[in-house]
């Protein structure tokens, strides 16, 4: 069962998010009040003690310090790994891009419905990068301007056509079994290709591979 820590300024928001996640079969390990960065240590202590898979942070507006908090948490060497998903009002493409750059796993607008929030939390826990369709649609045209320029992969680390196919399917959220079925390969062979592309991209997770692949132009999210 996916374990989630909910953080929000509003007690009503915390109660609502806790209820919808619980009804969907997820375990809310704690519900924490969050007003500003003064609460960051309290939140960090909860994360260290409870070790949830996902932190669902209801930031309300992009003017609130949600990104600063996310940066503090993702840069902390003392905290266990946690997927951070943000709920914010009308996030701009530039804001979303900065959130992803800082290591946030998913961004949803506060208008997201219950099923979308549950799906995003579940996807984040699985190592994927969930974005609301409206957010993704707005983000794609801005990617060339807001994504940092990265040098092309050296020739010796360039992905093979098969590895590129596998990376594209990782971006689609497919499991190893689903990739094997689509490519008519064994799961063992798929795992080999994933290990190879991880090594070439110098990453250790699907999320890192997909994010770096998109930034280098290897795939289009």
What is the sign of the dihedral through the CA atoms of 193, 202, 55 and 17?
A: negative
What average pLDDT does range 13-34 have in this prediction?
Answer: 92
Distance CA 90, CA 61 (A): 8
The CATH number given to 150-215 is 1.10.10.10
pLDDT bucket at 154, cuts 50 / 70 / 90: low
Of 100-109, 139-148, 157-166, 199-208, the range with the lowest mean pLDDT is 139-148
pLDDT of the residue at 62:
60
87 pLDDT higher than 60 = yes
pLDDT of the residue at 150:
46
The CATH number given to 3-145 is 3.40.50.2300
The residue extents of the domains of the chain are 3-145, 150-215
Residues in the chain: 221
75 pLDDT higher than 50 = yes
pLDDT of the residue at 14:
92
Token pair, residue 202, equals 């110098």
Distance CA 6, CA 67 (A): 16
């Amino acid at each position: 069962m996916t374990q989630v820590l909910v953080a929000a300024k509003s007690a009503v928001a915390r109660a609502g998010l806790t209820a919808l996640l619980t009804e969907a079969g997820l375990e809310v390990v704690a519900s924490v009040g969050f007003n500003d960065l003064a609460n960051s240590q309290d939140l960090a202590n909860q994360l260290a003690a409870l070790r949830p898979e996902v932190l669902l942070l209801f930031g309300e507006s992009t003017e609130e310090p949600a990104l600063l908090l996310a940066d503090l948490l993702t840069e902390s060497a003392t905290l266990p790994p946690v997927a951070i998903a943000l709920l914010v009002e009308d996030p701009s493409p530039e804001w979303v891009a900065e959130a992803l750059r800082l290591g946030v796993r998913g961004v949803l607008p506060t208008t997201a419905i219950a099923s979308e929030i549950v799906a995003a939390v579940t996807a984040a826990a699985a190592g994927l990068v969930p974005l609301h369709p409206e957010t993704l649609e707005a983000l794609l045209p801005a990617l060339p301007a807001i994504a940092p320029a990265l040098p092309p992969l050296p020739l010796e680390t360039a992905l093979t056509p098969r590895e590129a196919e596998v990376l594209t399917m990782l971006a689609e959220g497919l499991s190893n079994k689903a990739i094997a079925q689509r490519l008519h390969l064994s799961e063992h062979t798929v795992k080999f290709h994933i290990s190879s592309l991880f090594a070439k991209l110098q990453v250790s997770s699907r999320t890192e591979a997909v994010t770096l692949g998109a930034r280098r132009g290897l795939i289009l999210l």
